[in-house]
Chains A and B, each alone.
Chain A
């Protein structure tokens, strides 16, 4: 099982749609979880941290299920500017960050 596994994508959705990304991780001892976004040929940028209680930031909601080792990201009311690759990231046992391969989102007018 890969350390961090994501939906392969790509997701092509119309503006205004709600889209959900899923991610699973293999190390049950992982303590920190994040979603990053990466635009084409740019650096990854932190979108949001993911907490056990779930957290919301505007149109974005992240959930963590430790029992299932599962992380999700929900984007409501998609905008054209949301088009990017979304990276699921898990803190490794020695403090490094382990990235999933990413899921590409394309929001169409």
Chain B
């Protein structure tokens, strides 16, 4: 029973390129959450998705960032025209149920470095 799988584990992009981060939730989990963690900082909520729906994107920057969780396949966090400030660890988590029962399991993260 594989846990939450994120790939790639490490990603290097030049300024202006696009970054695509993938997250496959645990089997049976239909709720996915994306978080960003800057060095020496806490985890910042970005977006919460269920299959084909964005439930809460209050933590997503207004521009360049988007997320999806299609009916088939992994959830994707997409960052267009990356800048140095996007360098961070991006963690995905999944849970079986939503509100009131949000015990979530995390993937190992994708470490994005923008050069």
**A, B from the same assembly:** yes
Known: A46-B104, A87-B43, A99-B35. 15 other contacts (CB 8 A): A43-B108, A43-B109, A44-B91, A91-B99, A93-B99, A94-B55, A95-B98, A95-B99, A96-B33, A97-B33, A98-B45, A99-B42, A99-B44, A100-B42, A101-B41
Please, which residues of chain B bring their CB within 8 A of the CB of A34? 103
* 18 A-B pairs whose Cβ atoms sit less than 8 Å apart in the complex: A31-B99, A32-B101, A43-B107, A43-B108, A43-B109, A44-B106, A46-B105, A91-B99, A92-B45, A92-B56, A94-B55, A94-B99, A95-B99, A96-B55, A96-B59, A97-B45, A98-B45, A99-B35
| In the complex with contacts A96-B56, A97-B45, A100-B42, A45-B103 CB distance below 8 A | no
Q: Which residue of A lies closest to B39 (CB)?
A: A41
Interface size on B, residues (CB 8 A): 27
Q: Nearest Cβ distance between residue A16 and chain B, in whole angstroms?
A: 29
Please count the residue pairs between chain A and chain B whose beta carbons lie under 8 angstroms apart in the complex: 64
Per-position contact with A for B15-59: 1 when CB-CB < 8 Å, else 0?
A: 000000000000000010101000001111100100000011001
Q: When the two chains form their complex, are residues A32 and B102 in contact, meaning their CB atoms are under 8 A apart?
A: yes
Q: Which residue of B lies closest to A85 (CB)?
A: B42
Give me the interface of B with A, judged by CB distance under 8 Å. Answer: 31, 33, 35, 41-45, 48, 55-56, 59, 89, 91, 93, 98-109
Give me the interface of A with B, judged by CB distance under 8 Å. Answer: 31-32, 34, 41-46, 49, 87, 91-102
Please, which residues of chain B bring their CB within 8 A of the CB of A93? 99
